[in-house]
Chains A and B, each alone.
Chain A
């Protein structure tokens, strides 16, 4: 079935540094969504990207959707301790555009 691959699985970041997590799909996506899950919590919707090449920013978070709509990235600048958690990308494929295929997630820890 359709899958979304996400790397890295773990990201240990020094406070103040930047990092990026990447998602790739073998097939074209209708859209891609990003979620953040804090330890012990549930996924919280961050953003949805729909257009080819789309870039959206939320404060220190920058989300990109590739031109071919097969990949996406989340870049966080000046990491803070509040950024701790697991970031999931989730794509909907054209064939099954109502179902989300989740990436494995990138678990972020921050050292002060």
Chain B
């Protein structure tokens, strides 16, 4: 089945650090990738949608300068949390899909900012 790899799985870093998270589709070409944020015991909140070679579309309330998304190829998207602060601590999950097919999720990245 479709496999999406997300790395790293866990990050602990100091306030002010920038953190990059990678999302790769391993066995299919992802025309679209999505980035979600999930707080404990809550649902997934879509942050942004990215299509290969174009700028990401951010959801309302998500700061694009804070959460930089790059979708350089059909198999790779990155999310960079710039100058992270404790309130950015969360579980970040990417997903990828081929056109007209269901999304498949990465394992998620648990980000802890001290």
Chain B min CB distance to A37 (Å): 9
Is B54 an interface residue, CB under 8 A from the partner?
no
For the complex, what is the distance from the CA of A88 to the CA of B32, rounded to whole Å?
21
Chain B residue at minimum C-beta to C-beta distance from A104: B43
Is A33 an interface residue, CB under 8 A from the partner?
yes
The answer to whether A45 touches B93 (Cβ under 8 A) is no
The answer to whether B104 touches A45 (Cβ under 8 A) is yes
Interface size of A by Cβ–Cβ distance < 8 Å?
18
Mark A82-96 against chain B: 1 for CB-CB distance below 8 A, else 0: 000000100000000
Using known A-B contacts A41-B107, A43-B93, A99-B49, determine if residue A33 contacts B102 with beta carbons closer than 8 Å: yes
The answer to whether B43 touches A42 (Cβ under 8 A) is no
Q: Indicate the member of B43, B45, B49 with the most A CB atoms within 10 Å.
A: B43
The answer to whether B103 touches A45 (Cβ under 8 A) is yes
Contacts of A99 in B (CB 8 A): 34, 46, 49
Chain B residue at minimum C-beta to C-beta distance from A46: B102
The answer to whether B107 touches A43 (Cβ under 8 A) is no
Mark A27-54 against chain B: 1 for CB-CB distance below 8 A, else 0: 0000001010000011111001000000
The answer to whether A45 touches B108 (Cβ under 8 A) is no
Chain A residue at minimum C-beta to C-beta distance from B32: A98
For the complex, what is the distance from the CA of A104 to the CA of B43, rounded to whole Å?
5
Mark B75-114 against chain A: 1 for CB-CB distance below 8 A, else 0: 0000000000000000001000000001111111000000
9 tightest A-B contacts by CB?
A42-B108, A42-B105, A102-B43, A102-B44, A43-B105, A104-B43, A42-B107, A48-B102, A45-B102
